[in-house]
Chains A and B, each alone.
Chain A
Amino acid sequence: MIQNQILQNPIPEALRPELEARIEVDTYSRPVIVLYWSTSLFWLTFATLAGLISSIKLHSPGFLGGMEWITFGRIRPVHWDTAIYGFGGLAASGTLLWLQARLCQIRLPFRELLLVGCVIYNLGIAVGVVGILMGQSTGVETLEFPLYAIPFLVIPYVFIVIANFNMYWRKATKHTYVSQWYLMAVTVWFPILILSAEACTNFGAVDGVAQAIANWWYGHNVVGLFATPTGIAAAYYLIPKVIGKPIHSYHLSLLGFWSNAIFYNWAGTHHLTGGPLPAWTITLGVVGSLMMFIPVITIGINHHMTMLGSFHYLKTSPTLRFAVMGSMCYTLSSFQGSLEALRSHQEVTHFTHYTIGHVHFGMYGFFAPLMFAMMYYAMPRLTNQEWSSARLIRIHFWCTLVGMLLYVLAMCFAGIRQGLMMNDPSIPFLNIVKFTVPFLMLRTLAGLILLTGTIAFLINFSRMLTRHTFTYSTPTLFTSNRRWEDILEKEKELTSKQILDGGQGA
């Protein structure tokens, strides 16, 4: 078993107490993290299915027709809300709690409260989904859940915020690792974000265009100040950890964090370019988006330069493969997003499938793979078992990569053409619709590929929970264990010391 194995390895005596403490922290947080992650995967599957139904409906409008509760305009917001709040919220919260406990080197506090919170939160998502399907959506994009679902989601998050702050105040380490800045930031930003946005939209503090600005300030920031920081925190933790090398530059990570914190906030109004807004609000959004090049480049340098010289591990480590895919897509999709905010770019691609392609590049290229990487890394440590099948992990990885790329390329290409055609008034609108149909079909294919990957992951994950796993004496890796041992042999001195360093100071 993995934990015994860690302790049996030839580790310097001085490191042993720390390793034992770490195993204790992991064992203690097990029920909480496993519940957050397994329910997050339920919602991932649900969201993927809802997305697939929406996708099919958009090229074959008769599909599942005649049923009001599952009409495109209802299943489409269910897809987004279960993806971001169901999968995203739970996967990110599990990641946050596990990472913070590990980096603070203390036991997870309020374990029972967090467990109850997770149940309430899941109920809240279910209630919200039923509400939308019954036609009670608030009608505010990205905040569709009916008001009666909101307390179910807010109260558990309060527990998470308290637990996070509690761990940080009491932390046993002197250092604060980069990931922890991001985790602290998430728990400050997200409550303010969601409460201000709900107040402005669904509680009706503001109307009309001011509400639209608040709406998209939120809609952009829920990705930027919730999903993104959690993803970056995971990448900052996993990449150095797996390859056993410290982060490239402490100063860059500092610059990346603060510039991200300052500029991302302001980028949201580019979702309304060309709309009935005062020009200054859009200009702020464009400037904010372009300034995002600074954090994106610094964070990119930090992640990719750390990887430099260690790419051969990608052949072996599932965690690393997902983590590197995530960090590379972070760089690429952020570049795309910054350019997309330009007025001349928006003139064409705004209101088209291009935006949908971009969202999936960020969420399924960057955020989701990093959450998967986190699970691949942490689950064996939490449950004291190995992943049962390397083949299933391989299927999961390639389906995620290929499905995501096909989705993004098909939607972005179709979106550009769609936008150019829309800007030419001599082309009848229905011709544009007909032009997009084959690409919408490609998207359905991409969705099926992504679903296949998700199912492979689900099988592997649930085998771990139901203890059907064979007890391996070595980690489940892509290449044969023999080769892994060779690599370990070569870099033994480096790894045994720096595996520990990876988790702390820069």
Chain B
Amino acid sequence: MNRTLLLILGIFLTIASSVTGLVIIPNWQFQELKPVVKNEGQQFPAPYEGEAAQGRRVYIDQGCIYCHTQQVRMKGYGADIRRGWGTRRSVPRDYIYDRPHQLGTMRTGPDLANIGGRQPSSEWHALHLYNPQITSPGSVMPRFDYLFTEVTEPSQLTNLAVKVPVGSGRVTHIIPTERGQSLISYLTRLNQSYPFPEANQ
């Protein structure tokens, strides 16, 4: 056989093997994963819809993934559960509606897989996103103040307005913009606390 062809065939086979092993086979394995449906008709995990789906898009375009993961490691491997980042390890079924996935690889900030359970308050998220120093002094998270409208006159208040602590200049309240509101709604929805049979293993 021609040596050149042999070289190219060999090169091709090396990558073909890993495409099969790491791309095609895992996909087969996960294709059968379905959500768990409870008696009340609730399903876990639930697909992202409406505001939460929009908020997920904001999460992606702001690049939250570069500092935050969405995956809880198992008990005994790291301290994720002991830090209160989750009650159980994350499993593939948690992510069946994630497109694109946002597992993340960096924890400059804490894990967010269960942030909705840990911080259910929309007000907390609004203040934290508007200026992280209000809720988490010393944080290196940037301000997402452009996702909020600053209120200086009482006449501008709406029912979405969140009171800002004293010391923010003339600003008394902030009102999330549409994108800000959807991001908060996505974050408060992030919760993997429902039980899965495979998560106890």
Query: Which A residues are closer than 8 A to B by beta carbons?
Result: 57-59, 61-62, 65-68, 71-74, 76-77, 135-141, 168-169, 176, 181, 184-185, 188-189, 192-193, 196, 200-202, 204-215, 217, 221, 225, 258, 261-262, 265-266, 268-269, 271-272, 274-278, 281, 284, 343, 347, 350-353, 355-356, 422-425, 429-430, 433-434, 436-437, 440
Contact = CB atoms under 8 A, between A and B. Distances in A.
B100 A138 contact: yes
Interface of B: 3-4, 7-8, 10-12, 14-19, 21-23, 26-27, 29-30, 33, 60-67, 69, 71, 73-74, 77-79, 82-84, 89-92, 94-110, 132, 136-146
Contacts of B91: 276
28 contacts: A58-B108, A61-B140, A65-B143, A71-B63, A71-B142, A72-B67, A73-B62, A73-B63, A73-B64, A77-B66, A135-B61, A135-B62, A189-B15, A192-B15, A206-B27, A212-B95, A212-B103, A213-B26, A214-B22, A214-B23, A214-B27, A276-B92, A351-B106, A352-B106, A352-B107, A422-B107, A436-B108, A437-B140
A65 B141 CA distance: 11
A142 to B, nearest CB: 10
Given A212-B103, A434-B138, 10 more contacts: A58-B140, A74-B62, A206-B23, A213-B22, A217-B22, A261-B14, A274-B71, A275-B71, A278-B26, A430-B139
Contacts of B73: 274-275
B48 to A, nearest CB: 12
Contacts of B8: 184, 188
Contacts of B26: 209-210, 213-214, 277-278, 281
A472 B19 CA distance: 52
Contacts of B22: 213-214, 217, 265-266, 268-269, 281, 284
Contacts of B74: 274
A265 B78 contact: no
B14 to A, nearest CB: 4
B32 to A, nearest CB: 12
Contact of B77 (A65, A262, A347): A347
A74 B78 CA distance: 29
B97 A207 contact: yes
A58 B33 CA distance: 38
B132 A275 contact: no
Contact of A140 (B84, B100, B144): B100
A347 B63 contact: no
A440 B140 CA distance: 11
A57 B29 CA distance: 41
Contacts, number: 224
A192 B71 CA distance: 29
Nearest to B62: A73
A430 B14 CA distance: 45
Contact of A73 (B66, B78, B82): B66
Q: Which of A67, A185, A424 has the most CB of B within 10 A?
A: A185
Contacts of A284: 21-22
B97 to A, nearest CB: 7
Contacts of B132: 61
A240 B79 CA distance: 50
Given A77-B63, A347-B78, A210 B15 contact: no
B102 to A, nearest CB: 7
Contacts of B144: 71
Contacts of A430: 136-139
State the 7 A-B residue pairs at the shortest beta-carbon distance, nearest first: A73-B63, A139-B60, A208-B95, A265-B18, A135-B61, A351-B107, A276-B90
Q: Which of B11, B22, B29, B69 has the most CB of A within 10 A?
A: B22
Contact of B23 (A204, A213, A434, A436): A213
A330 to B, nearest CB: 20
Nearest to B82: A425
A71 B62 contact: yes
Given A61-B143, A189-B11, A347-B77, A212 B101 contact: yes
B101 A215 contact: yes
Contacts of B16: 192
B45 to A, nearest CB: 10
A89 to B, nearest CB: 18
A71 B143 CA distance: 9
B10 A258 contact: yes
B77 to A, nearest CB: 5
B170 to A, nearest CB: 16
Contacts of B98: 207-208, 211
Nearest to A266: B18
A66 B15 contact: no
Contacts of B67: 72-73
A350 B73 CA distance: 11
B15 A208 contact: no
Contacts of A225: 15
Nearest to B192: A276
Q: Which of A261, A276, A423 has the most CB of B within 10 A?
A: A276
Contacts of A68: 146
A188 B9 CA distance: 10
A193 B15 contact: yes
B107 A425 contact: no
Q: Which of B61, B89, B144 has the most CB of A within 10 A?
A: B61
